Amino acid sequence: MRNFLYLDERLVDQFLAQLEDGLYDDQRERSGRASSHGGGAGLGAGPARLDAKIGKESSGEVELVRRQTPESRFNRLYDRLDLARFDEQSGGVFGQLQTRQLIEADCYVDVPSFSRAFADPDALTGMAELMRTFAPEQVDPETDKMLQMMSGLGAKMSGSIVATGELGASEPTLAFKIDRSYLRVALEELEGEALVVGKVDRKWPEGESYPLLSLPGLNLFSRADRRAMAKSGDEQEASEDTILKGPGATVTVLAIYR
């Protein structure tokens, strides 16, 4: 049985509708039954005898409606997907990964500290305002600029969370964006060993750095900015927490569960 930590219901429905030519919300099962009550009466004598049924016959029909849930739809989708499965014992994972490939990775899910900070943009903005109100002497122009930048990034992320999946020391790191509205547990409960099901968007090789803030779907930077950041991997402009060094891959996640 799967304990879902995250389930992107929109993507599950999108994929399943393509495989089943649409979606259904429920499944109806009907069963009928018939019975008779009473005894028999004999007419005539000797070897010739006619038996007649005395009593009543009854019949009925039972209908069972099976409601489809996000979990049951995922299970139907999972059974129809041709998944490539990886874990820390697989070995040579980077060479096996292919763009647009559907995978299931048994990995350690981690949420970087910057992603935790940006997960609640309202709290981030409130913290900045508190500093300006109660500790104005500590908010010099440079600090104020940083606070404005953090508040702006938090608002742009709009509840999106950046996370990573670690397969092993010598294996590629998976990087993915998840939508907080589809999270089934508290953010801190997401961390730990889990199974991640998703589609590979892009691979980046060893020696290339990838800025996590440029993950597809975050819309924080233009395409030109993302390319420049990926090529430079300038750690002076971003902390190590926001930069992943290859080998690695970006993944669109459907589900995370234990």
Higher pLDDT: 100 or 122? It is 100
Higher pLDDT: 116 or 80? It is 80
Contacting residues for 108 by C-beta, under 8 A, at least 6 apart: 165, 166, 192, 193, 194
Cα separations (Å) of 207 from 122, 163, 237, 244? Answer: 37, 21, 18, 10
> Coil, strand or helix: which one is 65?
strand
166-209 pLDDT, tens digit each = 998 889 999 999 998 999 999 889 999 999 999 999 999 998 88
4-43 pLDDT, tens digit each = 999 999 999 999 999 998 887 777 777 666 555 555 555 4
> Coil, strand or helix: which one is 91?
coil
Tokens 């234990």 correspond to 258
> By percentage, how much of the chain surpasses pLDDT 90?
41
Distance CA 258, CA 56 (A): 55
Cα separations (Å) of 82 from 101, 135, 211? Answer: 9, 57, 30
Q: What pLDDT score does 235 carry?
A: 44
Q: What pLDDT score does 114 carry?
A: 75
Q: What pLDDT score does 143 carry?
A: 60
Higher pLDDT: 86 or 60? It is 86
Q: What pLDDT score does 233 carry?
A: 47
Higher pLDDT: 111 or 214? It is 111
Is the predicted pLDDT of residue 68 greater than 60, yes or no? yes
Q: Mean pLDDT across the chain, nearest whole number?
A: 78
Region 78-82: mean pLDDT is 95
Most confident of 65-69, 100-104, 215-219: 100-104
